[in-house]
Amino acid sequence: MDVVRKEKWRGPRALCSLGAAALLAGCSVMPRPLTLQENSTQAQQDLAAITARLEPVKGPMTLPDATARAIRNNLELRVRQMEQMVQSGQLDVSRYDMLPRLALSAGYSWRNNDAFGVGYQPDGTISTTPSAASERIRSTANAALSWNVLDFGLSYFRARQNADNVLIAEERRRRALQNLVQDVRLAWWRAEAAQRLLPQMDKMIEQIDQAAERSRLIESRRLMSPLQIIAYRRSLLDLQQQLSQRRQELAQWRSEFSELVGIAPGERYRIAGPASTAALVAPELTTRAEDLAAMALERRPELAEERLRVRITADEGKRQLLSLMPNLSLAFGPNYDSNRFLVNNEWVDATGGVALNLLKLLSLPAMQRAQKANVELDRARREALTMAVMAQTHVAVSRYELLRHEMGIWNQALADDRALLQSMQAAQQSGFETELELMRAAARVAITEINRDIIHANLEHAMGRVMNSVGYDIVDAQTNVDDGPTLAKQLDGALAQFGQQHFRLVANTPVSPVGIGEIVGVPNESLADFRQSMVNVMNVSRFTLDQRSPAVKVDVAVKMAPQQPSGRPVNVKVTLSDGPSGNLLQVVQMNSMLVEPVTQDQWKVLGEAAVFKVADVLRRLVGGTPRARDTLSLTEGGALRLDRTWSGPAPAPATP
């Protein structure tokens, strides 16, 4: 009896002990913050893993070399690549969800007594002899091959959605790569400017320090007045502050480039920049903004992602509708039971069933409304992104054109500052005022060159932005990014191909000479001054003067009206004609007022005004080709009109 009692209570006690242990283990879990040692160890491991992938710098880096290095080492791009791999793994997993389910199961059962029971006879009497049909200890096993039609359909559309997610991850990787190429382009040109200008700025700052030391020596010997020395030293400090601020920007550019292309901190590198930067020339964008926008709508990764999302939304709607359908399930498989009281311990069974949730059909209108809202949201987002892409493309083109124009201005400003510095150095004399002016001129040259290089870097970035705005891929999915030299060579070819397709270098248009022809209506005693004032304005406006064989001849006719209380009204008609043929090109008129008595200065001002009035028109004419010219009509009080005409019959003069 004791043995049976012990056997009876052993199982429940074991279960209670196991449950109590699990309960205590669950309650014992508490937050465990990371220790400093764990943080330090993990940081060292991550840093070692990052630096192990970084290749040492070998020789000066060109722009394709830097781009190839950034593609191999940039961590953000690596994250996008890993996201694509994760999505591919999800697709592989979802494919297996469509297969039938093959479930293998095995079991073991034990009880401490027999499962006796009594039954009743056909006549309704209860049997007095108990009986059992199962053993105390028995084992079971079965293998069931089941297939659920509804689960198969849902898994099929889920797999299609995962396949589109893989493509979305690819488009995001493309976008990250395009942004990386654009950022490297800007960082490379900035690093090139910093490499070239930092030694010059250090030398200039050193010269300013030496000049400040000399001023202190002269101050101690009282060779100049204290106020003059203090003002001189304060001017030097102003120059040094400006240069130091610029130098900080240049040093920061070097660090940003190192981080972007994956150069280890502290490692030295050099940029293989252009051989000469005396006059950096910006190529002309030859492709129209409308054509670039059309290319962008076809190639941009963001738009491709939105189009893929439309397919995902459509599949989601199909999944929701499919979930309302009747569920057909089929199962087939062998079974085994070790119970010795069974006549057949092994058997095969097959089952089938159909189930339909009638209450879930009530959610059909809500599903349809939600699906329609999702479709409208996708459409609105796609249309908004389309407009944004078109706007970005036009902004990129406009920004490039503006920076290209600004680049020419800074090139001219740098040339003028250098010419001024050379003139001052040639006429250098002893004395602190001259030395200060020289330093100011040298600092102005350095600052102007930095500003010019900033504009040039922004111009190159704008060129890359044009390429980025149209979604141009310089690396495809089949490119081997592990081979650095091969990748750099391919990048060089891809960048050159885009530049050849959409940009071209335009040589400076030769300026045709201008000649001053007949001047009518000006008194003889003022004629020389009138003509000389016209020559002075043309020289300032950088027109080439040639009285013998001019391309465009300028004739002036002055007509004075009777004197009025306010003065003498005067009408000036400037006629522009073709020099070789004499054909009339343009007539521009203006009205003015002279004050009695009319002096020589008034005639000079009138001659200057006559040239200023036609300067823009004249610049277009002398800068055009011999066969085609820009013809403008401009009269006093009239509007500006531009017409493209070919050299031929003389146009009718504009009416006043």
| Most confident residue range from 5-14, 181-190, 268-277 | 181-190
Q: Is 325 left (phi over 0), alpha (psi -120 to 50) or beta?
A: beta
Kindly state whether residue 633 falls inside one of the protein's structural domains.
yes
In the chain, the number of structural domains is: 1
166, two tokens? 């893989």
CA distance 169 to 162: 10
Are residues 270 and 352 in contact, defined by beta-carbon separation less than 8 angstroms?
no
Angle at 103 between CA 102 and CA 107, to 5 degrees: 160
Within a domain: 459:
no
User: Helix 63-73 and helix 226-261: axis angle, to 10°?
Assistant: 60
Rounded CA gap, 445 and 647, in Å? 45
CA–CA distance, 595 with 284 (Å, rounded to integer): 49
In 63-149, beta strands by DSSP E? 101-110, 137-148
Q: Is position 71 within any domain?
A: no
pLDDT at 13: 62
| Relative orientation angle of helices 226-261 and 432-469, to the nearest 10 degrees | 20
Beta carbons of 576 and 585 less than 8 angstroms apart:
yes
- Which helix (H) or strand (E) segment holds residue 354: the answer is strand 346-355
Would you say residue 508 has pLDDT above 80? Answer: no
Q: Does the N-terminal peptide bond of residue 597 adopt cis geometry, omega within 30 degrees of 0?
A: yes
Which three-class secondary structure state does DSSP give residue 205?
A: helix
Q: What is the pLDDT of residue 511?
A: 67
Q: How far apart are CA 12 and CA 373, in angstroms?
A: 57
Domain that includes residue 526, residue range? 514-646
Place of tokens 């709508």: 297
User: What is the separation of C-alpha 268 from the centre of its chain, rounded to a whole number of angstroms?
Assistant: 27
Cβ pair 62, 488 in contact under 8 A = yes
CA pair distance 334, 322, nearest whole angstrom? 31
> Residue 584: CB partners within 8 Å, gap ≥ 6?
575, 576, 577, 578, 650, 651, 653
DSSP conformation class of 285: E
d(CA 251, CA 66): 18
DSSP 126: B
pLDDT digits (tens, 9 = 90+) for 400-443: 999 888 888 888 788 778 777 776 776 555 455 566 677 777 88
**Sequence-distant (≥ 6) Cβ neighbours of residue 466 within 8 angstroms:** 285, 292, 393, 396, 397, 400, 502
514-520 sheet: strands from edge to edge:
514-520, 552-560, 568-578, 584-594
Consecutive H or E run containing 612: helix 600-622
* Confidence label for 639 from pLDDT (cuts 50, 70 and 90): very low
What the block records as the tokens of 40 is 């330090």
- On the question of pLDDT at 167 being above 60, the answer is yes
Q: Comparing 8-22, 26-40, 262-276, 336-350, which segment has the lowest mean pLDDT? A: 8-22
The residues, ordered by sequence, that sit 6+ positions from 63 with a Cβ below 8 Å of its Cβ are 184, 185, 188, 495
**What's the one-letter identity of residue 559?**
K
- Residue 332 pairs in a beta bridge with 145, 350
Contact 469, 292 (CB under 8 A): yes
Residue 145: inside a domain: no
CATH number at residue 640: 3.40.50
User: Is residue 539 assigned to a domain?
Assistant: yes
Token pair 């053993």 is found at: 135
What stretches of 253-379 adopt beta strand conformation (E)?
284-285, 327-337, 346-355
Beta-strand runs (E) in 468-508:
503-504
pLDDT digit string (tens) for 120-151?
Answer: 777 778 877 788 888 888 899 988 888 888 88
The kind and range of the H/E element at 346 are strand 346-355
Query: Burial of 394 by CB count in 10 Å (0-12 exposed, 13-18 middle, 19+ buried)?
Result: middle
Tokens coding 511: 């300026």
Find, among 519, 528, 504, 617, the residue nearest to 572 by Cα.
519
Lowest mean pLDDT among 436-450, 552-566, 641-655: 641-655
pLDDT of residue 390: 92
DSSP 545: B
* Secondary structure of residue 350 in the 3-state scheme: strand
pLDDT in tens, 590-609: 888 887 888 887 888 888 88
Share the mean pLDDT of the chain.
80
504 - beta bridge partners?
284
75 in a structural domain: no
Q: Is the pLDDT higher at 278 or at 341? A: 341
| Residue 590: Cβ within 10 Å count | 20
- Compute the residue count for the chain: 656
- 557 part of a folded domain: yes
Task: Write out pLDDT tens, residues 453-489.
Answer: 888 888 888 998 999 899 888 877 666 666 777 888 8
Nearest in space to 67 (alpha carbons), one of 517, 485, 399, 379: 485
pTM to 2 decimal places: 0.65
The confidence score (pLDDT) of residue 653 equals: 36
Instruction: Check residue 130 and give its pLDDT.
Output: 82
Q: What is the pLDDT of residue 2?
A: 42
Per DSSP bridges, beta strands 327-337 and 137-148 are antiparallel
Residue 626 has pLDDT above 50, yes or no: no
Of 48-52, 111-115, 163-167, 174-178, the range with the lowest mean pLDDT is: 48-52
Cα-Cα-Cα-Cα torsion 542, 545, 549, 550, nearest 10 degrees, comes to: 50
Helices 484-502 and 432-469 cross at an angle (nearest 10°) of 90
Cβ-proximal residues to 446 (8 Å cutoff; 6+ apart), any chain: 197, 200, 201, 204, 243, 246
Eight-class DSSP state of 33: P
Model pLDDT for residues 185-206, shown as the tens digit of each residue? 999 998 998 888 888 888 888 8
Alpha-carbon span 623 to 552, nearest angstrom: 11
Q: Which residues are within 8 A (CB) of 365 and not within 5 positions of it... i.e. 6 or more apart?
A: none
Query: Which token pair is 470?
Result: 């149209």
In a domain, 598, yes or no: yes
